[in-house]
Amino acid sequence: MSENFESVAAIFGKNVFNDVVMRERLPKNVYKEFKKTISEGRFLDVALADTVANAMKDWAIEKGATHFCHWFQPMTGLTAEKHDSFISPTAEGTTIMEFSGKELTQGEPDASSFPSGGLRATFEARGYTAWDCTSPAFIKETGRNITLYIPCAFCSYNAEALDKKTPLLRSMDALNKQATRVLRTLGNNTSQSVGATLGPEQEYFLIDKRFFEKRLDLMLTGRTLFGAATPRGQEMSDHYFGALHERVASFMHDVNVELWKLGVSAKTQHNEVAPAQYELAPVFSTVNVATDHNQLVMETLQKVALRNNLVCLLYEKPFSGVNGSGKHNNWSMVTDDGINLLEPGSTPHDNMVFLVMLCAVLRAVDKYSKLLRASVATAGNDHRLGAHEAPPAIVSVFLGNQLTDIIEQLGEGGAKESKANGHLKLGVSVLPPLPKDCTDRNRTSPFAFTGNKFEFRMVGSAQSTSGPMFVLNTIVADVLGEIAEELEKSTNVKTAAQKILAKISKEHRRVIFNGDNYTEEWAKEAVKRGLLNIKSTVESLKTIMDEENVKLFVNHNVLSKAELKARTEILLDSYSMSINIEARTALNIAQRQILPAAIEYSGKVAKTIESISNAGTDPSAQKKSLVRTCELISELQNSIDELKKAATVASGIDNTVKRAENFRDYVIGAMKEVRKAVDGLEMTVDAKMWPLPTYAEMLFIK
């Protein structure tokens, strides 16, 4: 039977060394000890690791694996892997398959070619990978290659984090510690730990592969640097949630099967707002596993697309004029015994745990808004944030009427009631009255409460969720720490908690905004409230090293000052590099494809004019067209020269901040001028001679 007909239950997690497999294959005492090690967050001892490794190897070999690899997430935001085979030669000239505990738990890849932001001198090449046993190992089939993947953290010879996973794990520890402290003071003596949960909604575009291959800009930069607007865009709102096209539906099916095998619970899929835009959302899991899984989601989307002669574009803004893509991060805190700390219940006003957690998040978001903003600052995301299609760069929180009312009551001497939610009456007798949710959906808010979780909507589609999530975990941990401090020393916890909530309500109410975040009025109102509107990536990244941020990360053991500095350098550098690649690609296309096509076309028109004149007819209409084309050609030539100059100056600057500023202030503008000329020519030159697939072709041909 083909795999398509295997039941989902049979497929799901079949390539994961998960709990069921472990229970089956590990000796009972080893299994128990291993689980205990994970839940207590301890190191794995060597003997235990040997047994686990052996069981893992046998399982992997039965599935056809010949290799294992330490799979990690360097600061590129992508994943990295180095494969080793299980083969071990014997003295008799044969071979046996071996995999030791040491090989499982630790690797030593050469780190010298990964970005380190100056943390590691090039001669100190050694880096270490360490097994993160909280994220299960899995088997990946790539073509005929079958390999055991071991999720790992990655650090330097001096144990400094060089990856995205380490700070995330550290931030989970911090949140666990502080949230548990708060729970204890509020009388919860049963929950042993608190974890952060994440459900990331992944948006992406799909286009036909034959168009992609003709667009150097998409291939090298992830976005179109040129392209006149399509006569039809998204104005009819007919794509969102529209019926899936057959080819796309088949693609989604293949993606689901691949992801289910890897234990990724891909659940929701639909058309998004822009033509050719789609979304996939998994069921949420712990933030660490969800982050690993999101990397697998992005990889699988791209891999399966190719198999279907499609290309998946993950970039934040592949096409101008239609919506870009984000990655909404749904986040909450949950105890080991299953209590969602952001669950309001039916009477939120007297749910003290919920109110404390809610207020902690409010204060954290307001107090550290610059850091949250910086966690989503990338060159790609600059096209989205504040462009009236995604949240603005102003960080605010949507709470909805009921909770906003409660927060106000808290500031005025205590919350006494929760506004009723009521029912929606549809006016059709056969339809039941629908219970109304206590919060509406506010699609324009950067940070929205959505029933029992927050949705951080500023995250870009191509980003790793690690950065935004370790920032969020850490800032909330910090505020929970402050609250625990107060509550632990108080004699009357209830009064003390009410005092804290009243103070937070008064100080941080300004960050609540339930209206339309896309409007000019809000931008003005935000200024009055003292909220920041940091529009560019460079401006935002410059705030990371502020003293309060350094203190925050150091205090909670999430990042040392040197690690934070290194990360900032890497982010700034990667901003400059991506704009530089865009500039060079734009120049390449403009000079080698557009100019020649436009010149050839103008020559053809000139010849036509000559023949028309020779025939004794008036060629003035053709002349008009030629003049316009020639004007555009000269604009293009001038703008190419300007862009060359600007890019050369910017790339020659040594200082990382100044270089990034220069790219932002001069190179981006110069690229826009080239685009203006090219897009003008697209509307003038004969379509048959135009070298690039157009927006209409890419967005509408399925």
Residues that bind Mg ion (CB under 5 A): 201
Specify the residue, 343 or 673, whose C-beta has the smaller distance to ligand ADP: 343
Picked from ligand ADP, Mg ion, none, the partner binding residue 197 (CB below 5 to 8 A depending on kind) is: ligand ADP
Find, among 263, 247, 282, 226, the residue nearest to 12 by Cα.
263
Neighbours of 240 (CB within 10 A): 16
Q: Which amino acid is at 275?
A: P
3-state secondary structure of 654: coil
Nearest distance from C-beta of residue 241 to ligand ADP, angstroms:
10
Find, among 32, 28, 27, 3, the residue nearest to 15 by Cα.
3
d(CA 582, CA 382): 14
Nearest distance from C-beta of residue 300 to ligand ADP, angstroms:
16
Specify the residue, 34 or 331, whose C-beta has the smaller distance to ligand ADP: 331
Q: Is 402 in the site for ligand ADP (CB under 6 A)?
A: no
Q: How far apart are the first and last CA of the chain?
A: 30
DSSP 386-407: TSSSS--SB--EE-HHHHHHHH
CA distances from 72 to 96, 295, 300, 415 (A): 27, 10, 16, 47
Contact between 340 and 449 under an 8 Å Cβ cutoff? The reply is no
Binding-site residue total for ligand ADP (CB under 6 A)?
Answer: 15
Picked from ligand ADP, Mg ion, none, the partner binding residue 249 (CB below 5 to 8 A depending on kind) is: none
Specify the residue, 55 or 281, whose C-beta has the smaller distance to ligand ADP: 281
Residue 338 Ramachandran class (φ > 0 left, ψ -120 to 50 alpha, else beta): left
Q: Is 78 in the site for ligand ADP (CB under 6 A)?
A: no
Nearest distance from C-beta of residue 328 to Mg ion, angstroms:
7
Specify the residue, 154 or 278, whose C-beta has the smaller distance to ligand ADP: 278
Q: Between the CA atoms of 411, 412, 418 and 421, what dihedral angle is there, to the nearest 10 degrees?
A: -80
Nearest distance from C-beta of residue 450 to Mg ion, angstroms:
10
Contact between 505 and 407 under an 8 Å Cβ cutoff? The reply is yes
In 2-145, where does DSSP find H-type helix?
8-11, 19-25, 28-39, 46-62, 101-105
Among the listed residues 66, 85, 340, 637, the single contact to ligand ADP using CB under 6 A? 340
**How many CA atoms lie within 13 Å of 128's alpha carbon, on the beta-carbon side?**
16
Nearest distance from C-beta of residue 282 to ligand ADP, angstroms:
6
- Which residues have CB under 8 Å from 52's CB, separation 6+? 22, 26, 30, 34, 44, 101, 104
Stretch that binds ligand ADP, among 2-10, 115-123, 159-167, 192-200 (CB under 6 A): 192-200
In 515-560, where does DSSP find H-type helix?
520-529, 537-541, 547-555
- Which residues have CB under 8 Å from 468's CB, separation 6+? 329, 372, 375, 376, 456, 458, 459
Stretch that binds ligand ADP, among 277-285, 366-374, 394-402, 428-436 (CB under 6 A): 277-285
Q: With the C-alpha atoms ordered 330, 333, 336, 339, is the resulting torsion angle positive or negative?
A: negative
* Binding residues among 299-338 for ligand ADP as defined by CB under 6 A: 330-332
Burial of 182 (0-12, 13-18, 19+ CB in 10 A): buried
Contact between 681 and 598 under an 8 Å Cβ cutoff? The reply is yes
Residue with tokens 């592949």: 318
Nearest distance from C-beta of residue 332 to Mg ion, angstroms:
16
Specify the residue, 244 or 581, whose C-beta has the smaller distance to ligand ADP: 244
- Could you tell me whether strands 194-208 and 277-282 are parallel, antiparallel, or unpaired per DSSP bridges? antiparallel
Q: Is 293 in the site for ligand ADP (CB under 6 A)?
A: no
Stretch that binds ligand ADP, among 171-179, 279-287, 513-521, 569-577 (CB under 6 A): 279-287
d(CA 155, CA 152): 10
Structure tokens at 395: 């960080």
**Would you tell me the crossing angle of helices 352-367 and 400-411 to the nearest 10 degrees?**
90
Contact between 293 and 264 under an 8 Å Cβ cutoff? The reply is yes
Q: Is 283 in the site for ligand ADP (CB under 6 A)?
A: yes
Q: Is 198 in the site for ligand ADP (CB under 6 A)?
A: yes
- φ, ψ (nearest 5 deg) of residue 405: -60, -45
Specify the residue, 192 or 268, whose C-beta has the smaller distance to ligand ADP: 268
Picked from ligand ADP, Mg ion, none, the partner binding residue 112 (CB below 5 to 8 A depending on kind) is: none
Specify the residue, 13 or 200, whose C-beta has the smaller distance to Mg ion: 200
Nearest distance from C-beta of residue 358 to ligand ADP, angstroms:
14
- The DSSP 8-state label assigned to residue 677 in this structure reads H
What residue is closest to ligand ADP based on CB? 199
Picked from ligand ADP, Mg ion, none, the partner binding residue 650 (CB below 5 to 8 A depending on kind) is: none
Specify the residue, 201 or 316, whose C-beta has the smaller distance to Mg ion: 201
Specify the residue, 199 or 318, whose C-beta has the smaller distance to ligand ADP: 199
d(CA 423, CA 86): 62
Nearest distance from C-beta of residue 49 to Mg ion, angstroms:
40
Specify the residue, 117 or 460, whose C-beta has the smaller distance to ligand ADP: 460
Q: Is 453 in the site for ligand ADP (CB under 6 A)?
A: yes
Specify the residue, 415 or 469, whose C-beta has the smaller distance to ligand ADP: 469
- The DSSP 8-state label assigned to residue 242 in this structure reads P
Nearest distance from C-beta of residue 184 to ligand ADP, angstroms:
22
Specify the residue, 61 or 339, whose C-beta has the smaller distance to ligand ADP: 339
Specify the residue, 202 or 549, whose C-beta has the smaller distance to ligand ADP: 202
- Which residues have CB under 8 Å from 554's CB, separation 6+? 560, 561
Nearest distance from C-beta of residue 317 to ligand ADP, angstroms:
20
Stretch that binds ligand ADP, among 68-76, 196-204, 381-389, 419-427 (CB under 6 A): 196-204
Q: Is 199 in the site for ligand ADP (CB under 6 A)?
A: yes
Nearest distance from C-beta of residue 487 to Mg ion, angstroms:
37
Picked from Mg ion, ligand ADP, none, the partner binding residue 262 (CB below 5 to 8 A depending on kind) is: none
**How many CA atoms lie within 13 Å of 435's alpha carbon, on the beta-carbon side?**
4
Q: Is 201 in the site for ligand ADP (CB under 6 A)?
A: yes
Q: Which amino acid is at 533?
A: N
Among the listed residues 112, 452, 498, 560, the single contact to ligand ADP using CB under 6 A? 452
d(CA 41, CA 38): 5
Picked from ligand ADP, Mg ion, none, the partner binding residue 662 (CB below 5 to 8 A depending on kind) is: none
What residue is closest to Mg ion based on CB? 201
Nearest distance from C-beta of residue 328 to ligand ADP, angstroms:
6
Specify the residue, 85 or 452, whose C-beta has the smaller distance to ligand ADP: 452
3-state secondary structure of 121: coil
3-state secondary structure of 66: coil
Specify the residue, 152 or 353, whose C-beta has the smaller distance to ligand ADP: 353
Among the listed residues 73, 166, 171, 197, the single contact to ligand ADP using CB under 6 A? 197
Picked from ligand ADP, Mg ion, none, the partner binding residue 284 (CB below 5 to 8 A depending on kind) is: ligand ADP
Specify the residue, 70 or 453, whose C-beta has the smaller distance to ligand ADP: 453
Nearest distance from C-beta of residue 428 to ligand ADP, angstroms:
24
**How many CA atoms lie within 13 Å of 56's alpha carbon, on the beta-carbon side?**
30
Among the listed residues 284, 447, 601, 695, the single contact to ligand ADP using CB under 6 A? 284
Nearest distance from C-beta of residue 452 to ligand ADP, angstroms:
6
Residues lying near ligand ADP in the complex (CB under 6 A): 197-199, 201, 268, 281-284, 330-332, 340, 452-453
